Amino acid sequence: MPSLDDLKKRIKSVKSTQKITKAMKMVAAAKLRKAQENAEKGRPYSQKMQNIILNLTKSISDPENAPKLLVGTGKDKTYLCVVLTADRGLCGGFNSNICKLAKLNFKKILGEGKNLKIITVGSKGLDQIKRDYGKYIVKKFSFKEKKQISFSEADLIGKEIINLFDNEEFDICQLFYNNFKNVITQIPQAQQIIPAIKKDSSDKQEKNSTYYEFEPEEDEILEDLLPKNISTQLFKAFLENAASEQGSRMTAMDNATRNAGDLVDKLTINYNRSRQASITKELIEIISGAESL
């Protein structure tokens, strides 16, 4: 049984923790609104970009010579996995969810006897993946100092990926990030960005083909567009991730605040009980002392 003084101290410390988590929740909520706005604003660009690429691929004249970024190298021997996580912790299952999904995929890829290469973005993901898959990591990025991630950062990573692709370092590139659905739901996702199209979707595209004029030729446009598309998809993933991080942190901190509240209530009841018990004990002592006289 802890003494009254101990209980008092504990209540005080839990209360101050509660204050901290509450403040973090407020901050996350404010940041969330901005991040969410950004994510929503960024969606049309990536969507329309995908649309144009789809239209282009429909009217490509000879698919045999199409750019490799679009149709792939024809092999699937080496996988490049880009794992996007946050630089900060205390955001619930946000980082672990991405890593869990990524690790599951790593296991599958290695299980099939294929090569694996990993790029990590964000220090939290690096810490988690390093433990089991450290030797597969080829590059790591962290934008801890940046307050807001802009397109140029996405472009930087995009160029790096394309560089690796041009050197035939990998055949398939996958992106892991959290898709922001709403404040309490974020879905970890794996998205394939190279090759840009999946083989099975080609038969559906024939139906509604509009005739486009191209200037210059399709191939040249694709060559310009596909690298841009990689950066765009990365940027979209960044934005979704940023919104998810704040959303996740907000719910996590909300939970923590509530838990702290429950704990304070429980401790207070304990405190009052032991206070009363000690008073009763003292009374009994006084009364029995008076009686014995």
Partner 1 sequence: MSNFTVEIISPAKSILKIEAREVILPSFEGEIGILKDHIPIITFLRPGIIKILSDANQEFFVEDGTVEFLNNNLLVLTSTAQKLSDLKKENLNSIITETEKAINKDPLKDKEKYLLTYKLETLKNIIQ
Report the DSSP pairing between strands 172-180 and 186-194: antiparallel
**Rounded to the nearest whole angstrom, what is the least distance from the CB of residue 52 to partner 1 in the complex?**
5
**Rounded to the nearest whole angstrom, what is the least distance from the CB of residue 221 to partner 1 in the complex?**
6
Picking from 42, 250, 52, the residue whose alpha carbon sits closest to that of residue 150 is 42
User: Does 9 participate in binding partner 1 (rule CB under 8 A)?
Assistant: no
Picking from 106, 52, 100, 57, the residue whose alpha carbon sits closest to that of residue 79 is 106
Which residues on adjacent β-strands are paired with residue 178? 188
| d(C-alpha 239, C-alpha 49), whole Å | 16
* Closer Cβ to partner 1, 16 or 209, answer by number: 209
Task: Give the interface segment with partner 1, choosing from 35-43, 78-86, 117-125, 165-173 (CB under 8 A).
Answer: 35-43
Secondary structure letter of residue 25 according to DSSP: H
User: Does 144 participate in binding partner 1 (rule CB under 8 A)?
Assistant: no
User: Does 154 participate in binding partner 1 (rule CB under 8 A)?
Assistant: yes
Cite the active site residues.
91
User: Does 44 participate in binding partner 1 (rule CB under 8 A)?
Assistant: yes
User: Does 146 participate in binding partner 1 (rule CB under 8 A)?
Assistant: no
Are 171 and 165 a contacting pair, CB within 8 Å? no
User: Does 151 participate in binding partner 1 (rule CB under 8 A)?
Assistant: yes
Choose which of 48, 75, 77, 100 interacts with partner 1 (CB under 8 A). Answer: 48
| d(C-alpha 57, C-alpha 210), whole Å | 12
Query: Which is it for the CA torsion 99, 101, 106, 107, positive or negative?
Result: positive
* Closer Cβ to partner 1, 17 or 55, answer by number: 55
Scan residues 230-249 and list those touching partner 1 (CB under 8 A): 232, 235-236
User: Does 36 participate in binding partner 1 (rule CB under 8 A)?
Assistant: no
User: Does 214 participate in binding partner 1 (rule CB under 8 A)?
Assistant: yes
| d(C-alpha 243, C-alpha 179), whole Å | 9
Cα angle for residues 218, 66, 152 (degrees, 5° grid): 75
Are 271 and 11 a contacting pair, CB within 8 Å? yes
* Closer Cβ to partner 1, 108 or 212, answer by number: 212
User: Does 198 participate in binding partner 1 (rule CB under 8 A)?
Assistant: no
Which residues bind to partner 1, rule: CB under 8 A?
A: 38, 41-42, 44-46, 48-49, 51-52, 55-56, 150-151, 154-155, 210-216, 221, 224-225, 228, 232, 235-236
